[in-house]
Structure 1
């Protein structure tokens, strides 16, 4: 069995789930965690953030419910409403990091969301991946080169197709995948204890 975390790095609820994801991964070192980008802001949805009028209100609710941090640098980044969230670029970033150390994919997903929502860094900027890679002890030059490669663009598109093929329509969704059996452990929000209970039930059936 493995866990599949389908998320979008530009999804506030995915950021709110970071604490649960980290806790579940640490409680279950025996379960590999695959991270798949869902592609929330692609195509016609790749527009300035001001067109999503609900962002600030939603973030306040996410912070209240999950304890997730939204930093002042993030507030400054989106303050004038011109920032464009590009999920394709963010997906390329997670692929580039994942290629460098596949077993650490969950850690990288959490780090990218922190880079955006706390540190106010754009996930379209290669420099963001350089910073995350350096902090993670990876070859930063290799990660940045991968981020800009055509191979990684293809892999990001494959992530979006994989999310759709798993039937995921909202982010984050945490799945348990055991052969052909796919079971949802969390949609949107759940505590690590709730995920554990669902895992335990799954393992007894």
Structure 2
């Protein structure tokens, strides 16, 4: 049995789920966690953030419901509306971090979202991954090399395919996978206590 966390690093609701994810992982060290990028802003959706007029309102709702912080760095980054959220680049980034420390994938996904939503760092910039890797005491050169590798887009595409294969259509989604069955534990928002209740119900014969 393992947890599968399907998220998008540029999804505000995924950022809002970070505290719950951290708590669930802390409570269940016996459960491995697979982190999969979903690909929210790809293809024709890869446009300046001003095209998504609902962002600020949604962020306010996320902050109120989850307590997630949206920092001054983030506000500065998106202020003129020209910033482009590119989920393919973010997927390459989490894959590079995940490769460096597979057993810390959930922690690194949370750090990635903090880099954007609090510090205002672009997830298309190799320097962002260097900083996260250094802070996490990983091999920063190896992480950047993996992010910039010619194979990285195929890795990102593999994540998007994995998310679709799991039947995930929105982010974040937390699943528990046992053998060939995948059961949703949370979609969009849930508390750690709610997830514990759902896990306990699944484990009850």
Per the normalisation by structure 2, the TM-score is: 0.99
Aligned to 1:91: 91
Aligned to 2:193: 193
3-state SS, counterpart of residue 35 of structure 1 = strand
RMSD: 0.5
Q: Distance between the aligned counterparts of 1:33 and 1:168, measured in 2? A: 16
Aligned to 1:182: 182
Where structure 1 has 5 or more consecutive residues not aligned to the other structure, the ranges are none
Aligned to 1:68: 68
Q: Distance between the aligned counterparts of 1:46 and 1:153, measured in 2? A: 15
- Could you list the structure 1 runs, at least 4 aligned residues long, displaced by more than 3 angstroms after superposition: none
Counterpart check, 1:103 vs 2:97: no
3-state SS, counterpart of residue 10 of structure 2 = coil
Alignment coverage as a number of residue pairs: 205
**Stretch deviating more after TM superposition (85-94 or 151-160):** 151-160
Q: CA deviation at 1:55?
A: 0.1
Q: How far does the alpha carbon of each residue in 1:109-159 deviate from its partner, in whole angstroms, 9 at most, with x for none? A: 000000000000000000000000000000101100110002222111000
Per the normalisation by structure 1, the TM-score is: 0.99
Q: CA deviation at 1:181?
A: 1.1
Aligned to 1:13: 13
3-state SS, counterpart of residue 120 of structure 1 = coil
Aligned to 1:2: 2
3-state SS, counterpart of residue 150 of structure 1 = coil
3-state SS, counterpart of residue 129 of structure 2 = helix
Counterparts of 1:9-48 in structure 2, within 5 Å, are 9-48=9-48
Counterpart check, 1:143 vs 2:175: no
Aligned to 1:167: 167
3-state SS, counterpart of residue 185 of structure 2 = strand
